A and B are shown apart, each in its own frame.
Chain A
């Protein structure tokens, strides 16, 4: 190995080119191993994102304060509906005194559709 080697740069370069064309291919099993590792590490690093972005319903639930708040809102809504549909004597028994006759006429008119919203204001103010 003394003196000037008689393999030219061009010949050496063509050998390098040949090597590049004969690179080992990445096997499916190696890809699978690498991506398995990636998934495991990703779960550790970013657990929230990996489990998926929160949906619209879960975002709304979080915005109103969770399941406890939602239960309170449902109870309040149910109470409102009950008040709306109940017999007024049950809702406000104190009205059952001197105005019993007037009240019963008012509710009769309301039931028959003869009384409009403005009439009730007139009725209250006398």
Chain B
């Protein structure tokens, strides 16, 4: 079965994945157009490196293609599954880079923004990135998923493999900490 690209815009991610597994050549393009931008934004925010984020997005999508024949419709959302895989891949890369368990790492004290942040054109966006970097890993992931990617708390709970209540607590504490870090540079950033 082969469908036109515009007809596919009305289909769910689930249905597109099933079409892909059945050999439809357009389904992969439609799913990629839906998922890749969101995944790239999320990964780039976590890794602070677009090239590395692109590698993670490619790997995430590859895993999606491979598991397509075994996908159970009506189960987890495809996007939630993909965010979860991407998040795990990002965490692995960050741990390899830093060589420490980020979840157990102490919350860092205010530091000067990193070199990457200084390269970003907008000072305010760079400051937000810097402030996000100061958060513990899970808080950062929860804040990015909730407030930048716009996912719901139940979706974030599934991605981070924690309860919805834990997500609410993480995002609340994360936002508070973020505001605190930004307050210290309020004058400088004109906030």
Contacts and interface: CB of A to CB of B under 8 A. Distances in A.
B36 A34 contact: yes
Interface in B142-190: 147-148, 150, 175-184, 186
Contacts of A38: 20, 28, 32, 61, 65
Contacts of A33: 58
A42 interface: yes
B170 to A, nearest CB: 16
Interface stretch (B73-81, B84-92, B94-102, B121-129): B121-129
A121 interface: no
Nearest to B182: A7
Contacts of B25: 39, 42, 50
Given A15-B128, A19-B128, A35-B32, A26 B179 contact: no
A42 B22 CA distance: 9
B183 A45 contact: no
Interface of A: 1, 5-7, 9, 11-13, 15-16, 18-20, 22-27, 30-31, 33-35, 37-39, 41-42, 45-46, 48-50
A34 B37 contact: no
Contacts of B57: 26, 30, 34
Given A42-B65, A49-B22, A50-B25, 15 more contacts: A1-B181, A6-B183, A12-B182, A15-B182, A18-B128, A22-B125, A23-B40, A23-B44, A24-B44, A24-B50, A26-B40, A35-B29, A38-B20, A41-B68, A45-B65
A1 B58 contact: no
Interface residues of B, number: 46
B137 interface: no
B128 A34 contact: no
Given A19-B148, A30-B58, A45 B68 contact: yes
A30 B54 contact: yes
Contacts of B32: 31, 34-35, 38
Most buried by B among A6, A7, A27, A37: A7
Given A19-B128, A26-B40, A41-B65, A6 B54 contact: no
B29 A5 contact: no
B151 to A, nearest CB: 13
A16 B148 contact: yes
B178 A24 contact: no
Nearest to A43: B23
